[in-house]
Amino acid sequence: MPRHRTVLQVFVASPADVAEERAVLDSVVAELNRTWSQSLSLSFEVLKWETHARPGFAQDPQEVINSQLPDDYDVFLGIFWSRLGTPTGRARAGTVEEFERAHARFRSTATAPEIMLYFKDAPIAPSKLEGAQLAALLEFKASLSDRGGLYATFEDQAGFEASLRAHLSAIAQKFASGGTQDSEAEYREEKVSIEPDAADDADFGLLDYLDIYESRAQDMMLAMASINEGTVRIGEQLTQRNAEVQDARTNPQAAKRSIKRASEDMFHYAETLGNQVGVLSRARQDAFFALSSAVALMADFPGDVEQLRDLRITLYDTIASASTARSGLTGMRDATSSLPRISKDLNKAKRAVAENLNRFLAEIESTESTVTNLIDAMTRLLESTSPGSSPAQ
């Protein structure tokens, strides 16, 4: 039978270099709308100029967009990478003008719209890099903290997807629980027909996602622990090889043998790094997909805040483990790069270690940024589900 649902509009502002992330947003919103169609009677509608603006004329294209897209949306979502966007007659870029309009409305209401900004921290091909655009973007990014803003960063699509799913879940729960004080925009209601048997019985539920998360999070911790142990071991081996070389200064053949053994030790360490970075990458993507999906489903269990707090504690533990691993690997990378260019084998081993160390460090950075975003989303969710308690506890 027909039901009513609340439609929250999400205005998307982004330059052309984040087209893949915009596609991820559409996918996540479609998934969340299926999840909440019955439990919260709430859905998101993504507002983009490509789909919500029609051909027209004004002083410039941005003014056409401003005049046609609604300005009483509930969420402003900005996504950036290496560009700020095309300048308008009123701002350094269309995205900046859209942000300024949203921020001005937020200042006037103190609550609406929700403003979420995401910055992609990933390499870009030199041929696609525009110095002026990058400089403008960095200047805009630096100005946000002076305006009381807090933004999120991500390194890859998996991190963005997990962070976005968790943040939108927190916003949905806030609106569903009446946690917003927006007096300017009225909720948009849409009459929809929901078939009771539309859900797929094979879809995972909360407990399934939590089981996946716990299993894959354990794999992440084991991968980082394995590399920590390997890093300590290679450090001890290199110290021993260095002592052997010093003892064999008057025996060139013995020194060469020690250098060869050092090269073999480093190649073995590089191989271990390469294997474990694959384990960590797959486990990270699976774990955070499952966790963010579980967080989205927790809207069906608004009173169960203890489980959410417990999950957040596990994320703090993950941050601590990642920080320890990053510190050890950074030290090993510096120590390896400082080794002298003694032989061809040693130089090749140094390069192999450096390449895989950088790959592993990039995975750890992705883990840390995604975990930080998930912690933020969970804190927001705790604030909306238990406003009388302290979410930091």
| Same-domain check for residues 125 and 219 | no
Are residues 275 and 162 both part of a single domain? Answer: no
Q: What is the pLDDT of residue 111?
A: 78
Would you say residue 52 lies in a domain? yes
Answer yes or no: is pLDDT of 13 > 60.
Answer: yes
With a CB cutoff of 8 Å and minimum separation 6, the contacts of 214 are none
Kindly report the pTM of this predicted structure.
0.83
Select the more confidently predicted residue: 390 or 276.
276
pLDDT band at residue 391 using 50, 70 and 90 as cut-offs: very low
DSSP symbols for 218-253: HHHHHHHHHHHHHHHHHHHHHHHHHHHHHHTTT-HH
**Residue 176 in this model has a pLDDT that exceeds 80:** no
State yes or no: pLDDT of 75 exceeds 90: yes
- What's the chain's average pLDDT? 86
Asked, for residue 37, whether it belongs to a domain, the answer is yes
Span between the terminal Cα atoms of the chain, in Å? 43
Query: Do residues 177 and 213 both lie within one domain?
Result: no
pLDDT at 67 over 80: yes
The pLDDT value recorded for residue 337 is 83
Residue 213 and residue 158 share a domain: no
Whether residue 293 sits in one domain with residue 145: no
221 and 150: one domain?
Answer: no
- Could you tell me which residue, 184 or 22, shows the higher pLDDT? 22
pLDDT, average across residues 332-359: 90
Higher model confidence: residue 227 or residue 58? 227
Least confident of 121-125, 182-186, 296-300: 182-186
Last residue in a domain, options 151, 185, 219: 185
Question: What percent of the chain has a predicted confidence (pLDDT) above 70?
Answer: 89
Claim to verify: residue 101 and residue 236 sit in the same structural domain: no
CATH number at residue 162: 3.40.50
pLDDT at 196 over 70: no
Same domain, residue pair 211 and 353: yes
Of 4-8, 54-58, 228-232, the least confident: 4-8
Lowest mean pLDDT among 155-169, 296-310, 323-337: 296-310
| Whole-number pLDDT of residue 199 | 43
Q: Which two tokens stand for residue 200?
A: 């797929």
pLDDT of 179 reads 55
273 and 138 in a common domain: no
Q: How many CB atoms lie within 10 A of CB 220?
A: 24
CATH number at residue 258: 1.20.1050
User: Between residues 179 and 242, which one has the greater pLDDT?
Assistant: 242
Q: How confident is the model at residue 4 (pLDDT cuts 50, 70, 90)?
A: low
Whether residue 216 sits in one domain with residue 346: yes
Q: Is the pLDDT of residue 144 over 50?
A: yes
Q: How far is CA 1 from CA 44, 99, 191, 193, in A?
A: 21, 40, 10, 6
Of 134, 154, 185, which residue sits at a domain end? 185
- Cα separation, 223 vs 272, whole angstroms: 10
Q: Which of 194-208, 290-304, 325-339, 374-388 has the highest mean pLDDT?
A: 325-339
At residue 83, φ and ψ (nearest 5 deg) are -125, 155
**11 lies in a domain?**
yes
Are residues 147 and 32 located together in one domain of the fold?
yes
Band of the pLDDT at 149, cuts 50, 70, 90? Answer: confident
213 and 283 share a domain? yes
Taking residues 242-248, report their average pLDDT.
80
Looking at the structure of the chain, the number of domains it has is 2
Domain that includes residue 117, residue range: 2-185
Split at pLDDT 50, 70, 90, the class of 185 is very low
pLDDT of residue 148: 84
